[in-house]
Structure 1
Amino acid sequence: MSAFRWAIFTASMMVVLAACQSSPNSSTTPIEQPEPSSADSTQPTPTPSTAPAKEHATVGEIEIVVDESLKPIIEQELEVFHAVNAKAVIHATYLPAEEAIQEMLNNRDIRLVISSRILTDDEKKFLVDQTVLPDYTSFGRDAIAVVNHPSNPVMKLDKAELQGVLSGKITSWKQIDPAAPEDKISLIFDHPQSSVLRFLTDSIMGGQAISSSNVFAMDSSTALLEYVKTNPGAIGFVGWAWLSDSDQIMSQELMDGLQLVLLEKQDGANGPCPYDLKYVGPWQSYLATDCYPLRRHMTTILRESIFGLGTGFVSYLNGPQGQRIVHKAGLNAHKGIPREVKFPKQRKATAQVDSTET
């Protein structure tokens, strides 16, 4: 009998507890989830620029530095690269070559430099001490163009004359051509930290500093060209990439009012110059055959430890599309540009020729 009463008591308590839980006055009401705030509901969808996808060869956002003397060709390359890779953003800063390399050495965010020289031993050691092994790739050859005023009768220089101008032994145009005016020669460069100035010092002067007393450095390649246009006694040394693309309006305008000075040809590492000329200009055929003396490599210096956007852009520069742009710009592409020529199908002969006919 006691067991029966205990069962009745237990059942009654369960009914009471259930009623308490369902009562609207219960103190154990469920906790409601808050409604999304107006700020949350209007939050914009992340875009690749604010929330980029994982970086790889054609996706991401990076900064690079470029030798200012190569600016025209790199601007063309970047324009096409961005057009075919919509999720890639490469911000290029154009600086004099020496400043560009120092920027990479001092800024770990800069993973790629495009220059006309490789690192010195001290610069390379600086990176190696940071456990960074720089990777070099040449994607073509540029040149240094020599220009003067169209009124100047001196339109060509041999090696001795060029060295004489740079060393200060030749100070007047009349020393080269008796028909030239008495104007004192002014040497004009694009910048004190220019790759052009360094190349001439190392390659033409054998490491000796250019000692002419009438040397001027501007602040850009365009400023250099404009100065030569208005100064008959000036001689300018500029990256050929600024003038090489004759199809570009910019190159045409920059070249207008200037005279290109031809230089004495030289033999290359693969043999003598194949052209029966004494003087040549910085055109593609003379760059490819090593005939033009002031030729130089366009070089990428990569410090990327991942297969990222910097590596992807370097691969693009050396790929078919990047090489075609180099070739189209009037520079010497590192790789040959394949061309496919299709001939019309030959029509069948309408009559047979007698084999005994002579």
Structure 2
Amino acid sequence: MRIVSSFIFVLLFASAFLSCNRNANENTTGEKRTSGKTTILVDETYARILDDQIEVFKSDYPEATVNTIVGNENEILPKFKSGEVKMLVISRMLKPEEERFYQNRQSPIYVDRFAIDGLALIGNKNDVDSTITVQEAYDIMRGTSKTGKKLVFDNAYSSTIRYFIDSAGIKELPKTGVYTLKTTDDVIKYVADNKGYIGVIGVNWLLKNVKNPSPFLKDVKTLAVKNSPNKRGSEAYYKPTQENLINGKYPFLRNVYIINAEGTSGLGTGFATWLSSPRGQLIVLKSGLGPHQVAQREFNLKTNNK
């Protein structure tokens, strides 16, 4: 009887050990490049394209869960700088002070471009002007414009207005001529309702074959832009078509980066790598943005002629 009891005890101990060991293995291998959970901070300009990318990635890898926190730069960057969330999608490289948390911990930061974005300038469809120069746009930003044209941005803390502030070389906005609202949809609606205003929005917001397109797109037109002298795109006026994003002739271009500071070869790394894969780049093409690299095949490039 004592022998049987001892055998049962050993069997129970072995089962418990194996169970614990299995749980430990599941915990250590639960997050791989194609499974587990990760969270990404996303510049609101790119919320649509990230939603599309995640949807397809999830269909490829059902055990992967990619959550997003969407906001303007002022809202999402503090979470990255503090290490609260270590994945980030924005339209610029990090500044030294934004990397300090990770440098102090000797934790690497990996930066990969996966798309080329364009900032489209839109006007009321009944406005006479259909073109604008880069210099005219910067003069409005500097408060020195004599044309009476006015620029409208999504909000005061967005990457869109920050791009124009940096490009125009100013420290603060002029008292008149530049206005901010709350969202990109607000900008499209405002321009559709008011002549004489030029809205600044991301190119992918011009597409009509997306989920929940703005109903006011029919009442606006996309302006063609001419670059400053001696720069690419200075010989003519160019619209932000996908072809002109890729060939660099449209002046208001910016790169889209995914920044990974997770410090592991887990799901975050897997998703960042997938964005630059042929499948991920095809979604970039469908979004209206320029891909990081064009594969050796012909694509039917979108031309937003509106």
Q: State the TM-score, normalizing by the size of structure 1.
A: 0.71
Measure, in 2, the Cα distance between the counterparts of 1:133 and 1:262: 41
Measure, in 2, the Cα distance between the counterparts of 1:240 and 1:197: 15
Give 1:152's aligned residue. Answer: 127
Contact 2:152 2:179 survives alignment (8 Å): yes
Contact 1:266 1:290 survives alignment (8 Å): no
Q: Are 2:300 and 1:312 aligned?
A: no
Segments of 5+ residues of structure 2 without an aligned counterpart are 9-26, 300-306
Counterpart AA for 1:166: M
Measure, in 2, the Cα distance between the counterparts of 1:208 and 1:93: 29
Q: Are 2:226 and 1:261 aligned?
A: no
Give 2:151's aligned residue. Answer: 187
1:83 to 46, 52, 59: 59
What secondary structure does 1:209 align onto? coil
Counterpart AA for 2:70: Y
Measure, in 1, the Cα distance between the counterparts of 2:135 and 2:293: 33
Rg: which structure is higher?
Answer: 1
Q: Are 2:205 and 1:242 aligned?
A: yes
User: What is the Cα deviation at residue 120 of structure 1?
Assistant: 0.7
Give 1:18's aligned residue. Answer: none
Give 1:228's aligned residue. Answer: 191
Counterpart AA for 2:123: N
Q: Are 2:298 and 1:335 aligned?
A: no
User: What is the Cα deviation at residue 322 of structure 1?
Assistant: 0.3
How many residue pairs end up in the alignment?
Answer: 278
Residue by residue, what CA displacement relative to the aligned partner does 1:159-189 show, whole Å, maximum 9, x if unpaired? Answer: 221122222222xxxx54xxxxxxx644321
Residue by residue, what CA displacement relative to the aligned partner does 1:314-340 show, whole Å, maximum 9, x if unpaired? Answer: 011000100011112221101113338
Give 2:38's aligned residue. Answer: 62
Counterpart AA for 2:82: N
User: What is the Cα deviation at residue 252 of structure 1?
Assistant: 6.8
Measure, in 1, the Cα distance between the counterparts of 2:243 and 2:298: 21
Measure, in 1, the Cα distance between the counterparts of 2:118 and 2:164: 11
User: What is the Cα deviation at residue 249 of structure 1?
Assistant: 5.8
1:117 to 92, 102, 105: 92
What secondary structure does 2:101 align onto? helix
What secondary structure does 2:219 align onto? coil
Give 1:139's aligned residue. Answer: 114
Contact 1:52 1:60 survives alignment (8 Å): no
Give 1:352's aligned residue. Answer: none
User: What is the Cα deviation at residue 233 of structure 1?
Assistant: 2.8
What aligned pairs does 1:12-31 form with structure 2 within 5 A after superposition?
none
What secondary structure does 1:256 align onto? helix
Q: Label 1:217 to 1:329 Cα distance change in 2 as closer, same or farther (>3 A).
A: same
Q: Label 1:53 to 1:229 Cα distance change in 2 as closer, same or farther (>3 A).
A: farther
Q: Label 1:297 to 1:80 Cα distance change in 2 as closer, same or farther (>3 A).
A: same
Residue by residue, what CA displacement relative to the aligned partner does 1:226-247 show, whole Å, maximum 9, x if unpaired? Answer: 122112232211111222x453
Counterpart AA for 2:196: G
Residue by residue, what CA displacement relative to the aligned partner does 1:57-91 show, whole Å, maximum 9, x if unpaired? Answer: 11011211100011121111111111111000111
Contact 2:120 2:200 survives alignment (8 Å): yes
Q: Label 1:66 to 1:122 Cα distance change in 2 as closer, same or farther (>3 A).
A: same
Instruction: Give the root-mean-square deviation of aligned CA atoms.
Output: 2.8
What secondary structure does 1:77 align onto? helix
Measure, in 2, the Cα distance between the counterparts of 1:215 and 1:313: 38
Q: Label 1:252 to 1:224 Cα distance change in 2 as closer, same or farther (>3 A).
A: closer
What secondary structure does 1:144 align onto? strand
1:280 to 232, 238, 245: 238
Segments of 5+ residues of structure 1 without an aligned counterpart are 1-20, 22-29, 34-50, 177-183, 342-358
Contact 1:149 1:231 survives alignment (8 Å): yes
Q: Label 1:266 to 1:163 Cα distance change in 2 as closer, same or farther (>3 A).
A: closer
Contact 1:70 1:242 survives alignment (8 Å): no
Contact 1:146 1:260 survives alignment (8 Å): yes
What secondary structure does 1:299 align onto? strand
